[in-house]
Structure 1
Amino acid sequence: MPVVRAPRAEPCWVELLSGDLDGANEFYSRLFGWQYAAHDGAEGYQLAMLDGEPVAGLVANDPELKAPDAWTTYLNVADIHSAMFATKLHGGQRYLKPVDMPGQGTVALIGDPAGAGVGLWQAFAAASYPVDRSHGHRVWNELHTKHFDIAARFYREALGWDLNPVSDSDEFRYYTLGQGSDAAAGLYDISGQDSTEGWRSYFAVDDADRAAALAEEMGGCVITAPHDSFFGRTAMLADRGGAQFAVIAPAKS
């Protein structure tokens, strides 16, 4: 059932910045079954659709900006201007000042003190967050960081996160926003690992092995091979432009 509650800076939307929108359309359409629709009033912006509902955004990457192709996670906030002030107060970075999207809400981009970027979103109206774990839907977001203590403090103090440890050992440090069935995002310590920092989006698939093979066949790459986890079989992938994301075949409850 849809959940309607006060914003708590949890993931609410994801967007792909792509230097090849046509290629990205084909890649994700074959991988997730997405269809596409133009976004009213936003040139170069497309909505990825499943069953008539938007599941993600795709925006053209301006080559003059020299920004890498990437997925961006957006967090819902109750007051975006207060969140921007708190970001600066607690050592974060402000990449894009708040911009109103007519009839929808206000958007901004920030970074934690280590520089990992994330979007902020304040909707003009209360929003519901339906849970859909079927193929092609976003099911989880987490921040991979090599500055775990700094990131944890930032999200607690600047965005009010209620962080709960899943594991806090030297071998595996992982906290969640909320806990149990109420968990909404993850914070993962990747210190000592040869991997890239930043937010990762997880999309549900029927078969993680098949999805990884298909992504590679289409010119993407497999960063972490499919493997079993407590939550299901998962893999870390990248599309043709190098934007990293994860797939997971959710464990049967």
Structure 2
Amino acid sequence: MDKESGAAAAAGVTSSREVFGAPCWVNLMTRDLKDAQEFYGAVLGWRFRRTRLGAGFSLAVSNGAPVASIGALEAALHAPAGWTPYFAVTDVDVSAARIRERSATVAVGPLRFPVGRGALAADRDGAVFGIWEGELIPDWLTWRKNAPAWLRLRTRNAFEAAIFYAEVLDWASEQAGCCQVDYEGDEVVLRQEGHVVARLSSGAVETAPDPLIQPRWHVHFPVADVEATVEAARRHGGSVLGRQTTPSGVTEVKLRDADGALFTVAGRPARGDARQPAGTGT
């Protein structure tokens, strides 16, 4: 353990170096922070508090536990609103270089924040993701176990994508503590210390007009009542893009928020469902 990781551990904070390669957070960038808080507060019941990242960010909390963060887009960027997953890395500069070396894109950063350094990237098929070096949220291990947000990559070829992310994020490497990659049918399943933390599936088409078919990291939020959540989203300016029932009987509904960001709500799986991650599901 290096000096920085040791100091973080002594303070009870998990460092990205301890869980490298794993999804460590999800963040929404939106054009109006206040409107987004009102939407997700009404739809998902979240409350919000300030973060150490500055006035342009807020932390979403559910039942007293952190779920996600929301940040305000700079008006000059003219960027679309969107949810982005972040992956823990040991060295953001090294990971950014690996991304570029593999013909993918580092769009923003690396940038320095009060608690670490991050960058925004897109893989070779255009799916956007972030990398983060530094402190994670307090009690990150509980966040991972309870899975208040979970991820699925819809990509052109899941096996090729898994190789790309393995090379960038040290998945399935010989390093102690790395994420493990398993192949289950036509899916790639990512596990970190036994917890399912992401799934990768094939079939995306980069030029598809339907945003649900384009290569994308989809952020899912488990909810107690899917239909009530969907109706709340509609009442507050959101829209329904599609729905499905998984082979395990879980209802998933793809939504667009009032600012255009895509996200999915899913019913909580039956306890012991082997297709779901530990906690609340994927």
TM-score (norm 1): 0.84
Instruction: Determine the C-alpha separation between the residues in 2 that align with 1:58 and 1:41.
Output: 11
Instruction: Determine the C-alpha separation between the residues in 2 that align with 1:190 and 1:150.
Output: 12
Superposition map of 1:159-238 within 5 A: 159-162=169-172, 163-168=181-186, 174-178=187-191, 181-191=194-204, 194=210, 195-225=213-243, 227-230=245-248, 232-238=250-256
The residue that corresponds to 1:79 in the other structure is 91
The residue that corresponds to 2:41 in the other structure is 29
The residue that corresponds to 1:105 in the other structure is 116
The residue that corresponds to 2:168 in the other structure is 158
Percent sequence identity is 29
- CA 1:228–1:18 in 2, change beyond 3 Å: closer, same or farther? same
Structure 1 gap segments, 5+ residues each: 169-173
CA contact (8 A) 2:22 2:192 kept: no
3-state SS in 1 of match to 2:185: strand
Instruction: Determine the C-alpha separation between the residues in 2 that align with 1:127 and 1:75.
Output: 16
CA contact (8 A) 2:188 2:200 kept: yes
Instruction: Determine the C-alpha separation between the residues in 1 that align with 2:53 and 2:192.
Output: 38
| Residue 143, structure 1, aligned to residue 153, structure 2 | yes
Instruction: Determine the C-alpha separation between the residues in 2 that align with 1:116 and 1:157.
Output: 16
3-state SS in 1 of match to 2:90: coil
Post-superposition offset of 1:248: 1.3
State how many pairs are aligned. Answer: 240
Post-superposition offset of 1:18: 0.9
Residues 41-100 of structure 1, C-alpha deviation per residue, up to 9 Å, x if partnerless? 513211112233332111112232121110011011122222112112222211122222
CA contact (8 A) 1:7 1:76 kept: yes
Runs of 4 or more above 3 Å deviation: 124-128, 147-150, 191-194
CA contact (8 A) 1:146 1:197 kept: yes
Post-superposition offset of 1:180: 10
Instruction: Determine the C-alpha separation between the residues in 2 that align with 1:207 and 1:145.
Output: 29
Instruction: Determine the C-alpha separation between the residues in 2 that align with 1:41 and 1:238.
Output: 26
* 154-163 or 187-196, which deviates more: 187-196
Post-superposition offset of 1:231: 6.9
Post-superposition offset of 1:185: 0.9
Structure 2 gap segments, 5+ residues each: 1-13, 173-180, 272-282
CA contact (8 A) 1:114 1:147 kept: no
The residue that corresponds to 2:276 in the other structure is none
Residues 146-196 of structure 1, C-alpha deviation per residue, up to 9 Å, x if partnerless? 35454222112222223322222xxxxx21113895321111213367423
TM-score (norm 2): 0.76
Residues 111-167 of structure 1, C-alpha deviation per residue, up to 9 Å, x if partnerless? 21222221111124797421225xxx32x1121123545422211222222332222
Structure number having the greater strand percentage: 1
Q: From 243, 250, 268, give the equivalent of 1:250.
A: 268
3-state SS in 1 of match to 2:146: coil
Instruction: Determine the C-alpha separation between the residues in 1 that align with 2:139 and 2:42.
Output: 30
CA contact (8 A) 2:154 2:200 kept: yes
